[in-house]
Amino acid sequence: MDRPRRTTRQPARLIDIVTSSPPTTTRSKRKTTQDAPIDTAEQLHTLLTSPKSDLTTMEISDLINTASWNMLSSDSQNMLKTLLPSTSFIGFNAVIGADHPSAVDSGAMAESTPSAIEVVDTAVFTDSHFLAAAHTLQDHIYSGWMSKSHAQKVAKYEEGIRNGTMAAPWKDEVWERNNGGPRPVTMPTNNGTVSSSDRAGEAAEIKLVTLAQAGVLQVGDIIVLKRNFSALDILIEKDAIIQSIHPKTHTLTVLLEPGTSTHLPAPLLSPHPSPPTGLTQEAVITSPTQLETALLDNDGRVERGKRPNGNAWKSMTVWRWRGTAPWEDVGGGRWGRENHGTLFYLRGTYYHER
């Protein structure tokens, strides 16, 4: 049997195979995004409210200047003119108001503002006062003060101030700083009526146990001490929670945490707290001064001899759930409780409403 003979034909090269192979069809990429029309109103709202707005990082004089003003239509200019002060227009004359004492001597009277002012002095766009106001707007946008969420917080705060459900602790702090001296002795008025100072003195007779008996203070409330020792440059903020109120004496048993930490352990803050463990301490108190002393002693940063006299009623705020308590900790270190005002504020409110 004859052996098969080897072929003498040259094998095809790889490059020829690739070149001669039929072209492969590639599927064109499908557009993942479609060009949508830009909502100019939404774009403008984002520019003026979002902390990530381009307005917060740009040089504002590159946007608001004489050239951009001249690009506006007459209708747009007339609308914006109503937002500018009278000093922004050509021909403005500074005059003394009719109610100014000098107006009687000089005979100068305030001129009426023209109903339609035609020409804006474009130097206003480079005026330091105008630029300062524009930079302040940039800061407010960047800080989130123009956002919808911040507007809701402000509205809630203002409503709480009006209806008396929310206090402004900083007002008490300012009052204490400016009026920290001893209260002057007041005498009865000639007509026999009681002055506001006398009523304040009567409110000061109300004790902490009286507030607990009346339900102004409740089990589960957190009492927060916040006191600034300016001479030592130390700010101490420390929490204590009311664990129980004695049914007869109405003394308060509170839980404290040693050390410089502000908040208590989370298991003690829930609607169904666990028994205290570890280093958590108990204290029975009958006055804000006792609680303040216990908290400062536990903090340990300011010795007793270096603590100036203060009003513990005004340096402590009460935090409580508004409505139903949350099932889980929502952050903030106080399990969703809200500030209900200082002990000083709550005592005054109780005195006037009883």
Label each residue of 93-146 as H, E or C: CCCCCCCCCHHHHHCCCCCCCCCCCCCECHHHHHCHHHHHHHHHHHHHHHCCCC
Answer whether 301's CB lies under 8 Å from 324's CB.
no
Lowest-confidence segment of 36-45, 48-57, 91-100, 342-351 by average pLDDT = 91-100
Q: What pTM did the predictor assign?
A: 0.48
pLDDT per position as a tens digit, 153-176 = 888 888 877 776 776 667 776 776
Greater model confidence, 158 or 239: 239
pLDDT at 127 over 80: yes
Q: What is the pLDDT of residues 328-337, one digit of tens each?
A: 777 788 988 8
* Average predicted confidence (pLDDT) for the chain: 81
Least Cα distance to 344 among 206, 186, 153, 151 occurs for 206
- What are the phi and psi torsion angles at 246 (to 5°)? -65, 130
Helical H runs in the chain?
14-20, 40-49, 66-70, 74-81, 102-106, 128-142, 148-163, 169-178, 196-203, 208-213, 288-299, 343-353
Q: Which two tokens stand for residue 7?
A: 């072929």
Per the CB < 8 A criterion, the answer to whether 238 and 329 are in contact is no
pLDDT > 80? residue 100? no
What's the average model confidence in pLDDT over 188-215? 72
Q: Which two tokens mark 343?
A: 């002990």
Examine the pLDDT at 177 and tell me if it is beyond 70.
Answer: no
The whole-number pLDDT of residue 28 equals 54
Give me the DSSP letters along 178-214: HS-SPPPP----TT-PPPHHHHHHHHTT--HHHHHHT
> Torsion-angle region of residue 109: left (phi > 0), alpha (psi -120 to 50) or beta?
beta
Is pLDDT of 26 > 60? Answer: no
Residue 112: its pLDDT value, please?
Answer: 45
- Whether the predicted pLDDT of 205 surpasses 60: yes
pLDDT of residue 335: 87
Q: What number is the average pLDDT over the span 324-350?
A: 86
Q: What is the pLDDT of residue 35?
A: 61
The Cα 267–Cα 329 span in angstroms is 10
Q: If phi over 0 gives left and psi between -120 and 50 gives alpha, with beta otherwise, what is residue 286?
A: alpha
Q: How confident is the model at residue 231, as a pLDDT?
A: 87
Reply yes or no on whether the pLDDT at 186 is more than 50.
Answer: no
Radius of gyration of the chain (CA): 36
* Rounded (5°) CA angle 213-219-225: 95
What mean pLDDT comes out for the span 251-261?
94
> pLDDT tens for residues 28-53?
555 555 566 778 888 889 999 999 99
pLDDT per position as a tens digit, 285-316: 999 999 999 999 999 999 998 998 889 999 99
Of the candidates 216, 196, 183, 241, which has an alpha carbon nearest to the alpha carbon of residue 344?
A: 216
Q: Quick one: 334 exposed, middle or buried, by C-beta within 10 A (0-12, 13-18, 19+)?
A: buried
Residue 116, pLDDT > 60, answer no
Q: What percent of the chain has a predicted confidence (pLDDT) above 70?
A: 75
pLDDT on residue 289? 93
Q: Is the pLDDT of residue 208 over 90?
A: yes
Q: Average pLDDT, stretch 275-282?
A: 89
Higher pLDDT, 34 or 254: 254
Q: What pLDDT score does 20 carry? A: 53
Give the neighbor-by-neighbor strand order of the sheet with 281-285. Answer: 281-285, 252-256, 234-245, 222-229, 316-320, 338-342
The pLDDT value given to residue 187: 47
Residue 110, pLDDT > 50, answer no
Residue carrying structure tokens 């009460």: 318
pLDDT for res 10: 56
Is the confidence at residue 114, as pLDDT, over 50?
no
* In the chain, % of residues over pLDDT 90: 46
